[in-house]
Amino acid sequence: MNVDRDITSSSIQEPTHLVRGCCCYREFGDEKVCLNNDSILPINAISVDPSFFTPLRSKSQLAEFRSDNVSMCYLLMFLDRDDGVCYCVSQNQRICINNKDVKVAEIENALQFVTSSEKSRDGVLCSDCLYRYLRTLGEGSEGFLTDDERNEIIAKYVRELATNMAIQLTNYDSSSGKSDFTNHLWGYLREINRSRSHWASMILNLRKAEAEEDLIELIELYSTLARLESIFLFQVLSLDDSDEETDLLSTLRFMVGVSEKVINVNNSIREITNSLTERDALPESIREMLSQHAETRKIAEYKFSNLVSALHNIDTHTT
């Protein structure tokens, strides 16, 4: 069963109150169970569209929507932002894992992480993944896993995040095999190296022509983006090394740094481009050439922003 985020108000500026799905919902073969309060309760699960609960805006209203059937599950969580905890809508109960309340902040972090690790499809998220995330990285995981077990799972998450990020960046068909993926990455890296040579040549020609420094800096920033992307992909390739000394948690922090640099470089590109455009100092030929890279750059920036959020969230549990 999947979960989805739905805003219960017509205004997209307001915070989410309902999450379609539940971290305590699990399937064992044909049996569906609820693990709330660390129990195992057989349930009848139905997915109810959040629009049905549009009036639900506060904890005090939950009783109105409670099911008379104790085994009924709407697969819907209510995020109580006043108290900072989550509730089961169908049973009007606090959601607890490992004897601890599931916090609103944990659900938000989990949704961000699960989305970034591609445990989703079209914005629909896996309840099982959400549950395992909370058991591993949430406050309720304390005392449940040893440090070695937690670090092992976190390292696995880092590998998944990085690999899926590489798949997205390089437009790889994930239905192909692992060996094909490695070959694909090496081929993509060769393309990046060719683009870096192109940027270097442009910079040299602009300097010879004594072009405006802002214009030269803009092209240098595009060259930096290509360099950072190649560094990231080389790091992904290194994750498959059999060397037991490979420290994936150190790799995590390295990837955070690279991703943050990508975001900062994109911000600088945006600022300088706007400045040059306003002053009509961006030659038409260069403007047209850069426009071909603009959409790809924006997509990559968005993906790296999501990756940073997810990696930071993991990093806070490794220190």
189 with 139, same domain: the answer is: no
Question: Is residue 218 domain-resident?
Answer: yes
Checking if the pLDDT of 206 tops 90, the result is yes
Entry pTM = 0.58
123 with 30, same domain: the answer is: yes
What pLDDT is attached to residue 271?
A: 93
110 with 41, same domain: the answer is: yes
100 with 196, same domain: the answer is: no
305 with 185, same domain: the answer is: yes
For residue 82, the enclosing domain spans 2-144
Which of 144, 159, 189 represents a domain boundary (last residue)? 144
10 band by pLDDT with thresholds 50, 70 and 90: very low
Checking if the pLDDT of 59 tops 80, the result is yes
120 band by pLDDT with thresholds 50, 70 and 90: very low
65 with 22, same domain: the answer is: yes
Which of 144, 159, 180 represents a domain boundary (last residue)? 144
Mean pLDDT of 198-217: 93
Checking if the pLDDT of 145 tops 70, the result is no
199 with 309, same domain: the answer is: yes
251 with 293, same domain: the answer is: yes
CA distances (Å), origin 114, targets 238, 247, 267: 23, 23, 26
The residue that leads in pLDDT, 269 or 240, is 269
Number of folded domains in the chain? Answer: 2
Lowest mean pLDDT among 210-224, 241-255, 272-286: 241-255
Rounded Cα–Cα distance for residues 232 and 303 (Å) = 13
Q: Measuring CA to CA, which residue among 45, 50, 20 is closest to residue 35?
A: 45
Question: Is residue 261 domain-resident?
Answer: yes
Checking if the pLDDT of 171 tops 70, the result is yes
pLDDT in tens, 252-311: 778 888 888 999 999 999 999 999 999 999 998 898 888 888 888 888 888 888 777 777
Question: Is residue 184 domain-resident?
Answer: yes
Mean pLDDT of 55-71: 86
Question: Is residue 270 domain-resident?
Answer: yes
192 with 237, same domain: the answer is: yes
Question: Is residue 249 domain-resident?
Answer: yes
14 with 138, same domain: the answer is: yes
What pLDDT is attached to residue 13?
A: 37
The residue that leads in pLDDT, 296 or 198, is 198
Which of 110, 126, 144 represents a domain boundary (last residue)? 144
Question: Is residue 199 domain-resident?
Answer: yes
Rounded Cα–Cα distance for residues 23 and 132 (Å) = 8
Please enumerate in sequence order all residues whose Cβ is within 8 A of that of 30, keeping only pairs 6 or more positions apart, or say none. none
Question: Is residue 269 domain-resident?
Answer: yes
120 with 232, same domain: the answer is: no
12 with 116, same domain: the answer is: yes
The residue that leads in pLDDT, 245 or 229, is 229
12 band by pLDDT with thresholds 50, 70 and 90: very low
Checking if the pLDDT of 86 tops 90, the result is yes
Question: Is residue 156 domain-resident?
Answer: no
